[in-house]
Structure 1
């Protein structure tokens, strides 16, 4: 079992979550300033350098319940709140669409899909949002890709396939696009429109041009158009975010599993070193702290 499945699950599902929320913000015609704040809050926590440092520590794949709770907590850091029903629908969409991507990725690997997820989410962000947070995440993926041998990669793929094997929900957007059959199984790659296969990880909703009325009945299948209907708008008061990490700490107390990060991000440049005399070939990380965006701005003003 790969010890690097957890960060790829969190990052890819998190990016799919951003796609859905962005889709609903636009459909509900939420004012631009509020939409930008929602996306900024969620992405800032999802890809926070400190959180990624913890996720990329070699560890067994986290359970479904823990990953779902982590992503729900991350979504709750914005000014828009999801109720349990909406989170359940959102979870179905995230897991099934990413599972579909893994199922049809005959000529693309998990690193390609993950990079495309991150770069596509970056295009949704407002211009003032720093791209350094995406570069940091991409660098972490590149480090793993460079260090992995064939056996490591095959082990990672097997871990992801096993992790997603229990999900079989029918998804309306996949059915409409002809990517999923009515029995819930996915269509074989050679039967699909090549456009869907060229850039796995991009926002799939851009291909879904079906127009539906806002008050249309929501079917039993998970449907992006009826998601987030009961969102509550509320101010985000606390600047410190508390997350339960998907990491086992042995005999340590439950409180030690609670991870606190400040919304004021300090970006980090992550490098990696191979442990000497390490037969298992585990990766370790050395974080070099760079200047904050505020310090860079002050330096630019001085110039």
Structure 2
């Protein structure tokens, strides 16, 4: 796992969050004097942007973030981003924050998939930094913080090798692999399937310095080419136009991300979990009974059941939709009961049974790294101090 992934994930997710909040605040901006209750003025919007960017790009916070460390789990990152969103006068309820995080994750995942080569991951981050710079262009202090962070990102990542960028990309793909939230705009543009997975094209330009696939060359022991053969690639590839050709392509992806959050298409920002088949929803009773029988043979079994002025912004279309999401989509019911197996006669057997029980238990998501939650707490404490 790459130890240089966290800063890019944080900056990109933070950039997506700022896009969404900026557009939603503009949607509520109908009264400049803020005389109408629940309406955000343009001054309030700019204040929220400046407060969040000031906290996000604080020098001490960024210095801590840029230290080599393992990538946090989704739970820890979501907590950090929630605290970041609440660094201003704005507040988000849990249901709105869940939807916000899902939109951010899917937008970044799609952009990562469209990178022709691992090094182009930096261009996604640079695009977000440029867009954030535009949001705070009237505030010199926040603008200087963004510029300083941009300089540090270039300094840290420009020295990485191609292999390190490949490891970074692999870490990102592992981080995003279980996220299959359906976004209506992606589905409308035929880039996402009904099951929540992206439909990637097998055609287009190849990365700079890479030959068009379809040719196999064979060499002898002295390195001299002895034969050639061709094969069908299943797509239509072309040579890149120039070095850095992803810049225009990446900007198009970024514009697509911005269009997701515009006030003209609020209905297109809806997300939903990918539907699963009835076979997936039904618990595996045979596997549970096998564990119970194993517990009876080796010991005893015990089964348990898992028991200042602040403004509010709602990311849902109506209050009824928000209440429905909060009651039905907040926490999913576990498909399997929690089975605790105690086999005191054989310590080694008890250890193995504990491992099996953990695999079948549908508990809370475990951190990817034992130290990641502690590091996340350190960043949260630092954010509180800011």
TM-score by length of 2: 0.55
Pair member with larger Rg:
2
2:127 to 82, 98, 116: 116
2:315 to 215, 227, 244: 227
Stretches of 4+ aligned residues off by more than 6 angstroms = 249-252, 254-257
Q: Check whether the contact 1:12–1:98 (CA below 8 A) recurs between aligned residues.
A: yes
Corresponding residue pairs, total: 243
Shift in Å at residue 258 of structure 1? Answer: 2.6
1:259 equivalent in alignment to 2:372: no
1:197 equivalent in alignment to 2:320: no
Hey, what does 1:6 align to over in structure 2?
6
Q: Check whether the contact 1:5–1:159 (CA below 8 A) recurs between aligned residues.
A: yes
Hey, what does 2:95 align to over in structure 1?
85
Q: Check whether the contact 2:5–2:168 (CA below 8 A) recurs between aligned residues.
A: yes
Q: Check whether the contact 1:8–1:114 (CA below 8 A) recurs between aligned residues.
A: yes
In structure 1, what is the Cα distance between the partners aligned to 2:172 and 2:378? 29
Hey, what does 1:17 align to over in structure 2?
17
1:68 to 55, 58, 78: 78
Hey, what does 1:44 align to over in structure 2?
54
In structure 2, what is the Cα distance between the partners aligned to 1:176 and 1:259? 41
Shift in Å at residue 262 of structure 1? Answer: 5.4
Q: Check whether the contact 2:86–2:92 (CA below 8 A) recurs between aligned residues.
A: yes
Shift in Å at residue 150 of structure 1? Answer: 1.4
Hey, what does 1:134 align to over in structure 2?
146
CA offsets, 1:70-106, max 9 Å, x none?
0000001111100000000001001010000001111
Shift in Å at residue 64 of structure 1? Answer: 1.4
Q: Check whether the contact 1:24–1:228 (CA below 8 A) recurs between aligned residues.
A: no
Shift in Å at residue 32 of structure 1? Answer: 0.6
Shift in Å at residue 179 of structure 1? Answer: 2.8
Alignment CA distance shift 1:102-1:219 (3 Å) = closer
Hey, what does 1:280 align to over in structure 2?
none
In structure 2, what is the Cα distance between the partners aligned to 1:256 and 1:211? 36
Hey, what does 1:188 align to over in structure 2?
200
Question: Could you list the runs of 5+ residues in structure 2 that have no partner in the other structure?
Answer: 30-39, 205-245, 274-312, 323-368
In structure 2, what is the Cα distance between the partners aligned to 1:18 and 1:86? 14
CA offsets, 1:245-265, max 9 Å, x none?
x9938999x7897325655xx
Secondary structure of residue in 2 paired with 1:259 = helix
2:105 to 95, 103, 117: 95
1:248 equivalent in alignment to 2:371: yes
Hey, what does 1:150 align to over in structure 2?
162
CA offsets, 1:238-283, max 9 Å, x none?
xxxxxxxx9938999x7897325655xxxxxxxxxxxxxxxxxxxx
Shift in Å at residue 60 of structure 1? Answer: 1.3
Alignment CA distance shift 1:257-1:178 (3 Å) = closer
Q: Check whether the contact 2:48–2:88 (CA below 8 A) recurs between aligned residues.
A: yes
